[in-house]
């Protein structure tokens, strides 16, 4: 599992051309009781992943809780084009946790605030990107469409979610769904143009992300150095 989580983090950093000194392993918790002690609240029985965050003065304390049974099931194997595409759920849960961790830490490095909606939106995009680009099938439109359908065509949300949380997850899924459709519809799409677009999107705040999704004609305007957008 350690190798898998490191691979997920490294691949996301590579895709978005970012780097953080923190390694996800140093912040991983699989003991549910310990996670509850740290958060001072109970974790739902069916919760498989949760980013634990607390702030004090200028300090940001972070841990990533992953269910111990999930960790056992997922092993160390990164999905490939030989994987059963209908059995990606556990991988996506782990990836979502790493995505939350990386996005929050990277933004904190630049003293940039991050909303919960922003975290969820980026994680949904990361699932799509990691399952297509990273395993080398980003040019296979049929495969991309299949992964899009698995992620977005019939989203399922926990039945006991509070109204505000449900609405946030629904919005994140809807925005990510549209953005990934926009990616697949990019004209003159190349690996370089796709990666530059993704790097630009990653660096936008929530308002700018949503504006870009709502105005797909903005995709893709060439930039010489994506890092200049920080």
> What residues have CB less than 8 Å from 103, skipping those under 6 apart?
114, 118, 119, 122, 123, 202
Structural domain boundaries in the chain? 2-219
CA distances from 211 to 91, 165, 224 (A): 30, 22, 22
Give the H or E element holding residue 7.
Answer: helix 2-16
Q: What is the pLDDT of residue 225?
A: 41
In tens digits, what is the pLDDT along the chain, a chain of 230 residues? Answer: 568 898 899 999 999 999 999 999 999 999 999 988 888 888 887 789 999 998 777 788 899 999 998 988 887 666 665 566 667 889 999 999 999 999 999 999 999 999 999 999 999 999 999 988 655 545 567 778 888 999 998 888 877 778 888 899 999 999 999 999 998 888 666 778 888 899 999 999 999 999 999 987 766 554 344 334 44
Q: What is the pLDDT of residues 130-168, one digit of tens each?
A: 988 655 545 567 778 888 999 998 888 877 778 888 899
Q: What is the mean pLDDT of the chain?
A: 84
Contact 200, 223 (CB under 8 A): yes
Percent of the chain at pLDDT exceeding 90 = 50
Contact 50, 43 (CB under 8 A): yes
> What residues have CB less than 8 Å from 57, skipping those under 6 apart?
none
Neighbour-count burial for 198-225, b at 16+ CB within 10 Å, e otherwise: bbbbbbbebeebbebbeeeeebbeeeee
pTM: 0.88
Q: What is the pLDDT of residues 57-84, one digit of tens each?
A: 778 889 999 999 898 888 766 666 556 6
Please name which of 200, 205, 207 lies closest in space to residue 229, comparing C-alpha atoms: 200
């Amino acid at each position: 599992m350690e190798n898998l989580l490191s691979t997920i983090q490294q691949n996301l950093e590579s895709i978005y051309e970012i780097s953080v000194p923190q390694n996800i392993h140093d912040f991983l918790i699989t003991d549910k009781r310990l996670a509850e002690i740290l958060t001072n609240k109970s974790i739902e029985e069916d919760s498989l992943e949760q980013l634990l965050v607390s702030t004090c003065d200028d300090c940001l304390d972070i841990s990533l809780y992953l269910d111990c049974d999930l960790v056992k099931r997922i092993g160390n194997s990164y999905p490939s084009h030989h994987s059963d595409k209908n059995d990606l759920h556990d991988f996506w849960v782990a990836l979502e946790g790493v995505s939350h961790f990386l996005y929050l830490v990277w933004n904190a490095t630049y003293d940039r605030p991050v909303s919960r909606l922003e975290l969820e939106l980026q994680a949904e995009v990361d699932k799509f990107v990691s399952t297509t680009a990273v395993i080398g099938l980003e040019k296979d439109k049929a495969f991309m469409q299949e992964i899009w359908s698995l992620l977005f065509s019939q989203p399922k949300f926990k039945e006991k979610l509070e109204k505000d949380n449900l609405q946030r997850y629904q919005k994140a899924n809807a925005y990510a769904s549209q953005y990934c459709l926009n990616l697949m519809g990019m004209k003159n799409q190349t690996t370089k143009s796709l990666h530059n677009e993704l790097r630009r999107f990653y660096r936008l705040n929530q308002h700018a992300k949503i504006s870009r999704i709502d105005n797909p004609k903005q995709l893709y305007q060439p930039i010489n150095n994506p890092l200049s957008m920080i």
